[in-house]
Structure 1
Amino acid sequence: MIISQRSYAGTLESSDLLVEIMPSEDNSLDIEVTSSVEKQFDDLIRKVVTDTLAELGVTSAVVSVNDKGALDCVIKARVQAAVMRASGAKEIVWGDQ
Protein backbone atom coordinates (compact mmCIF):
# COMPACT_ATOMS: atom_id res chain seq x y z
CA MET A 1 0.00 0.00 0.00
CA ILE A 2 1.15 3.50 -0.74
CA ILE A 3 0.90 6.01 2.10
CA SER A 4 -0.48 9.17 0.51
CA GLN A 5 -1.53 11.27 3.50
CA ARG A 6 -1.05 11.63 7.25
CA SER A 7 -3.39 9.66 9.47
CA TYR A 8 -3.83 8.57 13.07
CA ALA A 9 -5.37 5.63 14.90
CA GLY A 10 -5.79 4.98 18.60
CA THR A 11 -5.75 6.99 21.79
CA LEU A 12 -3.39 7.88 24.62
CA GLU A 13 -5.50 6.00 27.16
CA SER A 14 -3.98 3.31 29.35
CA SER A 15 -3.54 -0.05 27.52
CA ASP A 16 -3.85 1.65 24.10
CA LEU A 17 -1.49 3.47 21.76
CA LEU A 18 -1.57 6.28 19.23
CA VAL A 19 -0.15 5.51 15.80
CA GLU A 20 0.66 8.32 13.38
CA ILE A 21 1.70 7.48 9.84
CA MET A 22 2.67 9.80 7.00
CA PRO A 23 4.42 9.63 3.62
CA SER A 24 8.21 9.39 3.64
CA GLU A 25 10.09 12.06 1.72
CA ASP A 26 13.03 9.74 1.02
CA ASN A 27 11.14 6.47 0.31
CA SER A 28 12.33 4.78 3.49
CA LEU A 29 10.56 3.17 6.41
CA ASP A 30 11.21 5.10 9.63
CA ILE A 31 9.62 3.90 12.88
CA GLU A 32 9.80 5.86 16.13
CA VAL A 33 8.52 4.26 19.34
CA THR A 34 7.77 6.00 22.62
CA SER A 35 6.38 3.74 25.32
CA SER A 36 5.67 3.63 29.02
CA VAL A 37 7.09 0.08 28.92
CA GLU A 38 9.91 0.84 26.48
CA LYS A 39 12.71 -0.77 28.47
CA GLN A 40 10.96 -4.13 28.60
CA PHE A 41 9.07 -4.24 25.28
CA ASP A 42 10.62 -1.84 22.75
CA ASP A 43 11.93 -4.65 20.52
CA LEU A 44 8.60 -6.50 20.58
CA ILE A 45 6.59 -3.35 19.81
CA ARG A 46 8.89 -2.59 16.85
CA LYS A 47 8.56 -6.18 15.60
CA VAL A 48 4.75 -6.10 15.69
CA VAL A 49 4.69 -2.72 13.89
CA THR A 50 7.28 -3.82 11.29
CA ASP A 51 5.59 -7.18 10.65
CA THR A 52 2.17 -5.56 10.27
CA LEU A 53 3.51 -2.98 7.82
CA ALA A 54 5.21 -5.77 5.83
CA GLU A 55 1.96 -7.80 5.73
CA LEU A 56 0.20 -4.73 4.33
CA GLY A 57 2.93 -4.09 1.75
CA VAL A 58 4.04 -0.75 3.22
CA THR A 59 7.69 -0.09 2.35
CA SER A 60 7.83 3.70 2.59
CA ALA A 61 6.42 5.69 5.52
CA VAL A 62 7.21 7.60 8.67
CA VAL A 63 5.52 5.91 11.62
CA SER A 64 5.31 7.29 15.13
CA VAL A 65 4.01 5.04 17.93
CA ASN A 66 3.14 6.39 21.36
CA ASP A 67 2.37 3.30 23.46
CA LYS A 68 0.64 3.19 26.82
CA GLY A 69 0.98 -0.54 27.45
CA ALA A 70 -1.08 -1.96 24.56
CA LEU A 71 -1.25 -5.67 23.81
CA ASP A 72 0.13 -7.02 20.50
CA CYS A 73 -3.34 -7.41 18.98
CA VAL A 74 -4.13 -3.76 19.76
CA ILE A 75 -0.83 -2.61 18.23
CA LYS A 76 -1.56 -4.57 15.06
CA ALA A 77 -5.14 -3.26 14.81
CA ARG A 78 -4.07 0.37 15.29
CA VAL A 79 -1.31 0.09 12.67
CA GLN A 80 -3.78 -1.51 10.22
CA ALA A 81 -6.33 1.27 10.79
CA ALA A 82 -3.74 4.03 10.36
CA VAL A 83 -2.42 2.46 7.14
CA MET A 84 -5.90 2.05 5.68
CA ARG A 85 -6.74 5.68 6.43
CA ALA A 86 -3.41 6.96 5.08
CA SER A 87 -3.67 4.96 1.87
CA GLY A 88 -7.37 5.52 1.25
CA ALA A 89 -7.93 1.74 1.09
CA LYS A 90 -11.41 0.36 1.67
CA GLU A 91 -10.24 -3.15 2.55
CA ILE A 92 -6.98 -4.77 3.53
CA VAL A 93 -5.02 -6.59 0.85
CA TRP A 94 -2.62 -8.85 2.76
CA GLY A 95 0.90 -9.37 1.38
CA ASP A 96 1.18 -12.41 -0.95
CA GLN A 97 -2.46 -13.42 -1.27
Structure 2
Amino acid sequence: MVIAKQAVCGTLQSNDCFIRLYPNEDGIELDIKSSVMAQFGKQIEKVALETLASMGVTSCRLFLEDKGALDYTIRARVETAVKRANE
Protein backbone atom coordinates (compact mmCIF):
# COMPACT_ATOMS: atom_id res chain seq x y z
CA MET A 1 0.00 0.00 0.00
CA VAL A 2 1.21 3.48 -0.83
CA ILE A 3 0.09 6.49 1.21
CA ALA A 4 -2.23 8.67 -0.87
CA LYS A 5 -2.18 11.94 1.11
CA GLN A 6 -0.82 13.55 4.25
CA ALA A 7 -2.51 12.61 7.52
CA VAL A 8 -2.05 13.36 11.22
CA CYS A 9 -3.11 11.67 14.42
CA GLY A 10 -2.51 12.03 18.16
CA THR A 11 -1.56 14.83 20.53
CA LEU A 12 1.50 16.21 22.27
CA GLN A 13 0.09 15.50 25.72
CA SER A 14 1.87 13.29 28.21
CA ASN A 15 1.66 9.53 27.49
CA ASP A 16 0.64 10.11 23.87
CA CYS A 17 2.38 10.60 20.55
CA PHE A 18 1.80 12.78 17.52
CA ILE A 19 2.01 11.15 14.08
CA ARG A 20 2.41 12.94 10.77
CA LEU A 21 2.32 10.65 7.72
CA TYR A 22 3.37 11.73 4.22
CA PRO A 23 3.47 10.06 0.81
CA ASN A 24 6.97 8.97 -0.19
CA GLU A 25 8.34 7.23 -3.27
CA ASP A 26 11.53 5.87 -1.70
CA GLY A 27 10.28 3.24 0.73
CA ILE A 28 9.66 3.88 4.41
CA GLU A 29 11.43 6.75 6.15
CA LEU A 30 11.09 7.31 9.91
CA ASP A 31 11.76 10.52 11.82
CA ILE A 32 11.33 9.90 15.55
CA LYS A 33 11.64 12.46 18.32
CA SER A 34 11.26 11.36 21.93
CA SER A 35 12.35 12.47 25.37
CA VAL A 36 13.06 8.80 26.10
CA MET A 37 14.88 8.06 22.83
CA ALA A 38 17.98 6.71 24.58
CA GLN A 39 15.98 4.13 26.55
CA PHE A 40 13.12 3.24 24.19
CA GLY A 41 14.04 4.52 20.71
CA LYS A 42 14.57 1.05 19.22
CA GLN A 43 11.23 -0.18 20.62
CA ILE A 44 9.36 2.87 19.29
CA GLU A 45 10.89 2.31 15.85
CA LYS A 46 10.10 -1.42 15.97
CA VAL A 47 6.43 -0.84 16.86
CA ALA A 48 6.00 1.80 14.13
CA LEU A 49 7.62 -0.39 11.45
CA GLU A 50 5.70 -3.52 12.50
CA THR A 51 2.41 -1.61 12.39
CA LEU A 52 3.13 -0.23 8.92
CA ALA A 53 4.13 -3.72 7.72
CA SER A 54 0.99 -5.33 9.17
CA MET A 55 -1.12 -2.81 7.23
CA GLY A 56 0.78 -3.47 4.01
CA VAL A 57 2.39 -0.02 3.78
CA THR A 58 5.48 -0.19 1.57
CA SER A 59 6.19 3.49 1.05
CA CYS A 60 5.70 6.51 3.34
CA ARG A 61 7.46 9.12 5.44
CA LEU A 62 6.45 8.92 9.10
CA PHE A 63 7.20 11.65 11.63
CA LEU A 64 6.57 10.49 15.20
CA GLU A 65 6.88 12.80 18.20
CA ASP A 66 6.63 10.73 21.37
CA LYS A 67 5.65 12.00 24.81
CA GLY A 68 5.97 8.71 26.68
CA ALA A 69 3.38 6.67 24.79
CA LEU A 70 3.11 2.94 25.39
CA ASP A 71 3.33 0.46 22.51
CA TYR A 72 -0.43 0.08 22.07
CA THR A 73 -0.84 3.87 21.82
CA ILE A 74 1.86 4.14 19.16
CA ARG A 75 0.28 1.26 17.26
CA ALA A 76 -3.20 2.83 17.41
CA ARG A 77 -1.93 6.24 16.29
CA VAL A 78 -0.01 4.81 13.32
CA GLU A 79 -3.00 2.69 12.25
CA THR A 80 -5.34 5.68 12.43
CA ALA A 81 -2.96 7.90 10.45
CA VAL A 82 -2.66 5.23 7.71
CA LYS A 83 -6.44 4.87 7.51
CA ARG A 84 -6.90 8.66 7.32
CA ALA A 85 -4.26 8.93 4.62
CA ASN A 86 -6.11 6.45 2.43
CA GLU A 87 -9.72 7.54 2.89
TM-score calculated relative to the size of structure 2: 0.97
Partner of 1:83: 82
1:27 to partner: Cα distance? 3.0
Q: Distance in 1 between matches of 2:60 and 2:49?
A: 11
Partner of 2:62: 63
Given the alignment of the two structures, is residue 36 of structure 1 paired with residue 35 of structure 2, yes or no? yes
How many residue pairs align between the two structures?
87
Stretches of structure 2 lacking an aligned partner (at least 5 in a row): none
Two-structure CA RMSD over aligned residues (Å): 0.7
Amino acid at match of 2:40: F
1:87 to partner: Cα distance? 1.2
Q: Distance in 1 between matches of 2:52 and 2:66?
A: 17
1:21 to partner: Cα distance? 0.3
Q: Which runs of 4+ in 1 moved over 2 A?
A: none
Identical columns (%): 43
1:28 to partner: Cα distance? 1.3
Amino acid at match of 1:63: L
Amino acid at match of 1:72: D
Given the alignment of the two structures, is residue 15 of structure 1 paired with residue 15 of structure 2, yes or no? yes
Amino acid at match of 1:2: V
